[in-house]
Every structure is written in C-alpha cells, then in structure tokens.
Amino acid sequence: MTVLFDGVASGLLLFLISVGLSVTLGLMNFVNLAHGAFAMLGGYICVLLLSRLGVPFLLTLPIVVLACAAAGALLERTLYRRLYGASHLDQVLFSIGLVFMAISTAHFFFGSQQQPLQLPAFLRGQLDIPGLDIGIYRLFLIAVGLAIAAGLQWMLTRTHFGAELRAAVDNRRAARGLGIDVDRVFSLAFALGSALAGLGGALGVETLGLDPEFPVKYIVYFLVVVAVGGSGNITGSLYASLILGITDVVGKYYLPQAGAFFIDAVMVLTLIFRPQGLFGRGAVR
C-alpha cells in the first residue's frame, strides 16, 4: 500500500514537471527538450531563496513561478519564436544547445554537487495510519498536482484564453484572421509551460535531487509522459504520469537492479502500439 501511495505521489510530481511540456510540445507542437532546464532553473531559485535569503518555502513557490515564466517569455520572444515553423530536427538541435548551455552555467555557478533542500517543519514527518505510512510532503505533492491539473483543464476548456490557444494551435492563419493575437497567445502559453516546469522543479528537489545534470537525467521521463499521455491532453498527461510513477516506484522497489529500464520500455512499447499516445486524439499532426 505504501509503495502504491509513493507511486501516486511520484506520478503527480512527474505530472507537475511534465505538464508544462505537454503545453509546449503537445499543444504548440514545439519539441522543447530544454524543458528540464526550466525545471532546473526553478529548483535552483527555490533552493537559493530558501538557503541564502531565508524565504519561507511556500513563499518561494510563487517567486519561482514568476521567475520561470519571465525567463520562458524572454526566451520565447527572442529565440524560440524563430523556430515555430522549423522542422522538428531543428527544434531538437536548438533545444539541446540550450540544455548544454544551461548545464554548464549551472556548473559554473553552483558546482556539480547535489543541492540540499530543507523542508519546513509542517511538511516533514509522516501520518501513521495502520498499514499505510503517508509522508506529509507526498500528500502535499498530490494535492498540488491535482489542483494544477484541475486548474489547467478548466483554463484550456472554459476560459477565453484557452479557446484562443486551441484556435491558434489548430490553425494559426485562421486564428489570426479572426483577430486573435497569436503571437501574444503563444508567448503566454510558453511562459505558462515554463512556469509549470519551474514549479515542478522546485517541488521536485526533495525527491529527485538537483544538480546540473538534471535536464538530461530526467528528459526521458518528461517525454514519456507526453508520449504516453498523447499530445496536448491534460487529463491524458495526468493518467500517464500516474501510470509511470507507479510503474517506476513499484519497479524500483521490487526489482531495483532494473533501474530506469521499465520506464524506457513503457515509452517504447506505447509508441509502438499507439503512436499517438494512450489517450491521444485519433490523428497526430
């Protein structure tokens, strides 16, 4: 039971980090392998605020979100924008370049060691229910993850901005013709994706650790979620994250020597049998 619970928590953490990629890769169709770099940025900001400036943990999160959104918007305006029409290969190369730069910058400023994160007292410890040990931080992750999922789903399907974004993604020219400021919508969506990555990165420091290799180490996990969940599908990403989180934790618990093998296998198998993802729309564009 505890293993299952940990799996759910780890799945929701995965969801928090990857859902931003689901926005940029899934909705905007940009292969942004640098997604992990934004998550890493969020992690470092959170750790620095916490340890150097003594900002309380919960207060660091909105700062992280704002900072990552700003960084994302800035990069989108200056660089990413030029590559919307480019081939997937160009986007991949470009974002790998960004990842490499992010890694060496992190090395330069913070060194290669793991960054420690001191959680506030009320998030530490465990609830002991017979037969089930619930880490309070895990519970917190689950709550935040579900809240974000609900919020995003609501935003995409019910708000004006969500409608504009979907329109701009489906047919950019027609959307522009209808008077939608497509550039602005894409900038905002990209900033949103980056902010979510940063939030996930900050929340993930405790579980995943944080060092300069972060963007490469976990890149597969993010891609897997989008691949399995189907692109641009928030609920799909949520289910996929849960499946993967549980598979990963259970696999590592019962068969530790297999390591990350399971999660890679899940991705490859899914893509073989359902190239559009488990929960994807019928056709991939």
Closer CB to other proteins, 179 or 257, in the complex:
257
The strand pairing partners of 128, in sequence order, are 133
Q: Which is nearer to other proteins, 99 or 149 (CB)?
A: 99
In the bound state with other proteins, the residue whose beta carbon lies nearer, of 29 and 207, is 29
- Cβ distance 202 to 51 under 8 Å? no
Question: Shortest Cβ distance from residue 120 to other proteins (Å)?
Answer: 33
Alpha-carbon distance of 253 to 73, in angstroms, equals 40
How far is 154 from 24, CA to CA, in rounded Å? 18
**Considering the complex, what minimum distance in angstroms separates the CB of residue 215 from other proteins?**
11
Using CA atoms, how far residue 266 sits from 16, 18, 116, 251, 261, in Å, is: 20, 16, 31, 12, 9
Collapsing DSSP to helix, strand or coil, 252 comes out as helix
Tell me the backbone φ, ψ of residue 84, rounded to 5 degrees: -60, -40
Least distance CB 156 / other proteins (angstroms) = 21
Q: Which is nearer to other proteins, 90 or 170 (CB)?
A: 90
Residue 246 CB, nearest approach to other proteins (Å)? 19
Task: Tell me phi and psi for residue 211, to 5 degrees.
Answer: -150, 170
Query: By the criterion CB under 8 A, which residues form the site for other proteins?
Result: 31, 79, 82-83, 86-90, 92-94, 96-105, 107-108, 216, 219-220, 223-224, 227, 257-261, 264-265, 267-268, 271-272, 275, 284
**Closer CB to other proteins, 21 or 203, in the complex:** 21
Nearer to other proteins, 4 or 269 (CB): 269
Instruction: State the nearest-atom distance from the C-beta of 118 to other proteins, in Å.
Output: 27
Give the shortest CB-143-to-other proteins separation in angstroms.
31
Backbone angles phi, psi at 146, to 5 degrees: -65, -40
CB of 107 or CB of 184, closer to other proteins: 107
What is the DSSP secondary structure assignment for residue 282, as one 8-state letter? S
Q: If DSSP states are collapsed to H, E and C, what string results for 83-142?
A: HCCCCHHHHHHHHHHHHHHHHHHHHHHHCCCCCCCCCCHHHCCEEEECCEEEEHHHHHHH
Residue 177 C-beta: closest distance to other proteins, Å: 27
